[in-house]
A = this chain, B = another copy of it.
Amino acid sequence: MPSYTAPLRDMQFVLHDLLKVSEQDIPGFADLDRDFTAAVLEESGKVASEILQPLNAVGDTEGCVLENGVVRTPTGFKAAFDAIRDGGWTSIDCSPEFGGQGLPYVLHTAAQEPFVSANMAFNMYQGLTHGAYSAILFHGSEAQKATYLPKLTTCEWTGTMNLTEPHCGTDLGLMRTRAELHADGTYRITGQKIFISAGDHDMAENIIHLVLAKIPGGPEGIKGVSLFIVPKFLVNADGSLGARNPVMVGKVEEKMGIHGNSTCVMNYDGAEGYLIGEAHKGMRAMFTMMNEARLGVGLQGYAQAEAAYQNAVAYAKDRLQGRDITGAKAPEKAADPIIVHPDIRRNLMDQKSFVEGARALTYWGATLIDRAHKNGDKDADGLISLLTPIIKGFQTDKGFEYSVAAQQVYGGHGYIEEWGMSQFARDARIAMIYEGANGIQALDLVGRKLALDGGRHIMGFFDLVKSFIKENEGEASLKAGFLDPLKAASKDLQDAVMYFMANGAKDPNNALAGSYDFMHMMGHVCLGLMWAKMAKAAGEALAAGAADKAFYETKIATGLYYMARQLPATAMHLARIQTGAEFVMVLDAANF
């Protein structure tokens, strides 16, 4: 059975050595000193290891069951959810006006990581609720906020997001669910929604569904989509629960993974709903939440890889097979632990260097969201919009890849469910699909974000890289190992942008055929930048005589690995991109 321990030392390193959060000029960040974040994260890690992790296999094995119209969650989930709620873990960054703790989003993000590593399926119940909270906070009326936000803050009520229908997911303009205006100003929602995570369960008094639907007579396509609040139980004026609203679970899906989360078909049969924000502007409300939601999914990617990695390392130190080719390391035993073998190390270093780089990128992204929201910083907002498809798309692709790689360390045992490594891979797989499949992330990046505001944000990103290199080029310890490879990779990325500019106008497919490669390429450059910055921070700590020398030296060694062994991928991606649309688009559909 797998175990999990929150990587507190590394989380603190990212927050304080790398991001220096408490020194940042963002409201609330001054509170984030080392002691405070240590206390919060240590407790989060404890909850994760002691309460959530033991339920991960339970959730996978038992799954969610539809009984008499209600979904029953796996054994122990309800008690664990109460513990999360009671511990205040659902409200870290929620507004004090509605019962939240008003702390920065970056702290919420860091505190969530252990929960996601320990039990991704379980943590989705609160994750979705946070999304519903944000939608109502940013777009709801005062009355709606007053009614729903205090309950969503505490997760006494949970939330869902209802977008997909059987015939449409990416292309929501094709939506058929309709919302008809009732005499009292409320709406009646009718239609079917699918893939509704946490669509029903037995862990909360009420479930607040946020539902996209079309008001008849509105504009065609995506411009005629509105967002509605549809509670499972209607809420009386005094806040007590009233009648059961006709929104019913049609089915709980059998999935590849995240069995502990109930993925429901939801049937709306004239359910009472309340418009959020303006009619026909539902997508706008969705989009404002997207950076946050996608960052959360990107976190799932590396958080699963982190959990899988920890177990792969433990197994590699424990499993005895073969001998170190340069001489026995454990001559007193029948064989050496497999961690002596170069290919096992290669695999573990791939995992480690990705996970730590992705953690840095994710927390940095979270600070950009804080800065955008709290300082109204447009550049931060533009930058995180640009980085979002990478955090989501690249990190979930790699998170799955390395969960599979960690499983591989176990040999045959990795394939046996009892050992738990299969679950990491199966659970991580969904993150590549939901919240916009990764192909859509790549399209968003290349088809939309690169050119946004006249290319201002990608240019800003290149400036960041360039100025970091320039500021540090006198630093001999960084030059060959970090700055040179970062410069080369960044140059490849710029060449790709140039290629898109030169050839995309002629035929947009020349850009879109390279979108996936670009997303991965930029992912490597982002992680390369993170590693260069982390190496600098680690070098400074060592120079200052830091106590935990081994930690900082390991950090630098891990970064050198990433730069030397992962960044060369950018040249390959560039080569692919520069072949344009020709080879991709040449076949008639009939000839596939």
Contact = CB atoms under 8 A, between A and B. Distances in A.
Given A554-B587, A571-B572, 13 more contacts: A169-B411, A169-B412, A256-B417, A256-B425, A317-B589, A343-B442, A345-B513, A349-B587, A408-B439, A414-B433, A415-B429, A561-B586, A564-B579
Interface string A433-445: 1100111001100
A489 B355 CA distance: 31
Contact of A253 (B411, B416, B507): B416
A326 B170 contact: no
A256 B508 CA distance: 41
A313 interface: yes
A564 B589 contact: no
Contacts of A576: 564-565, 568
A316 B430 CA distance: 19
Given A174-B321, A429-B415, A516-B346, A568 B572 contact: yes
**Chain multiplicity (copies):** 2
Given A170-B321, A569-B572, A583 B560 contact: yes
Interface of A: 164, 167-171, 174, 194-195, 253-257, 263, 313, 316-317, 320-322, 325-326, 334-335, 337, 339-349, 352, 400, 404, 407-408, 411-412, 414-418, 422, 425-426, 429-430, 432-434, 437-439, 442-443, 447, 507-509, 512-513, 515-516, 550, 554, 557-558, 560-561, 564-565, 568-569, 571-572, 575-576, 579, 581, 583-592
**Shortest beta-carbon contacts, A-B, top 9:** A568-B575, A342-B512, A256-B422, A171-B321, A342-B513, A561-B583, A572-B572, A554-B591, A254-B417
Contacts of A561: 583-584, 586
Contacts of A588: 550
Contacts of A337: 589
Contacts of A584: 342, 345-346, 349, 561, 565
Contacts of A425: 256, 429
A591 B550 contact: yes
A271 B354 CA distance: 49
Contacts of A344: 439
Given A430-B415, A572-B571, A585 B509 contact: no
A587 B326 CA distance: 16
A322 B348 CA distance: 40
